[in-house]
Amino acid sequence: MTINIFALSVGLSIIGLMFVFTLISGSPPTPTSPRVRRAVLALLPRRLPAGIIYELGAGWGGNAIALATAFPDRTVIGVELSPLPWLVSRLRLLFNPRKTLDFRCDNFMAQELSDAALVVCYVGHAQMTQLQPKLAAEMAPGTLVLTHTFAMPDWRPVDTVQADDIYRSPVYLYEVPYQEPNQSSGADASASHDAAAGGSSPDS
Ligand SMILES: C[S@@+](CC[C@H](N)C(=O)[O-])C[C@H]1O[C@@H](n2cnc3c(N)ncnc32)[C@H](O)[C@@H]1O
């Protein structure tokens, strides 16, 4: 009886914790499906610009582990706000250590990205809207951003693909646009990016 109550309390605490962090972050820790992950990896060029690979909102760690496998010569850093998924990703690393992979429990808005070669993220539209000006301001022009399911609000992708899952989930690859020093809005960044990259519309 005591054990049952203990197990119930632990279970409810875990559910409560997940719920609270979903409210705080605005995004549940829904993992990328294997089919979408395959499309993500297929869309990435084999040769990346110089720098680190970040996964922003790394969830349970599956994407970051796949990225570390696909790019063994690159440092991969997963940043996750919610402590339980982060703990699981750390445990996965404990059981399968990788020198090039690290998981940080933090708000990705606090992560400095000037050393990024590639940012991968799967978060909702509201988080994408917050992220876009940060990525444009901090990442070097020509470095890469990959999102799936949700597009960057104003940028135009240089390449897109549809995963073969039941949702035909879209995967978007962007090049960070050149930004004038006094330019800060995503829409402005989009304009210069259009001129530089000549990419296609996210809706196409
Ligand atoms: C839809 S899940 C994706 C998980 C993983 N990237 C994947 O594709 O399998 C989005 C994750 O982003 C995290 N997240 C949302 N906002 C965040 C923030 N500001 N800082 C860090 N993590 C955040 C959420 O906690 C959630 O785990």
Ligand 1 centroid distance, CA of 86 (Å): 10
The answer to whether residue 60 sits within a structural domain is yes
Predicted local distance difference test score (pLDDT) of residue 106? 97
Measured distance CA(189)–CA(9) in Å, rounded: 49
Stretch 97-114: mean pLDDT, rounded?
Answer: 97
- Containing structural domain, residue 167: 28-197
- Which stretches does DSSP call E strand in the chain? 52-56, 76-80, 101-105, 116-121, 144-148, 159-162, 170-175
Per residue in 138-154, pLDDT (tens digit) is: 999 999 999 999 999 99
Tell me which residue has tokens 């605490």: 13
146 bridge partner residues? 120, 173
Q: Are 156 and 201 in contact (CB under 8 A)?
A: yes
pTM comes to: 0.86
Predicted local distance difference test score (pLDDT) of residue 84? 93
The answer to whether residue 115 sits within a structural domain is yes
User: Which tops the pLDDT comparison, 17 or 78?
Assistant: 78
pLDDT tier at 203 (50, 70, 90 boundaries)?
Answer: very low
Instruction: Specify the residue with its C-alpha closest to ligand 1, atom 6.
Output: 58
Predicted local distance difference test score (pLDDT) of residue 177? 87
170 bridge partner residues? 162
CATH number at residue 157: 3.40.50.150
Q: How many domains does the chain have?
A: 1
User: Which tops the pLDDT comparison, 26 or 158?
Assistant: 158
The answer to whether residue 164 sits within a structural domain is yes
Mutate to test the pocket of ligand 1, among 23, 81, 92 (most ligand atoms within 8 A of CB): 81
pLDDT tier at 86 (50, 70, 90 boundaries)?
Answer: very high
Q: Write down the mean pLDDT value for the chain.
A: 88
Predicted local distance difference test score (pLDDT) of residue 182? 65
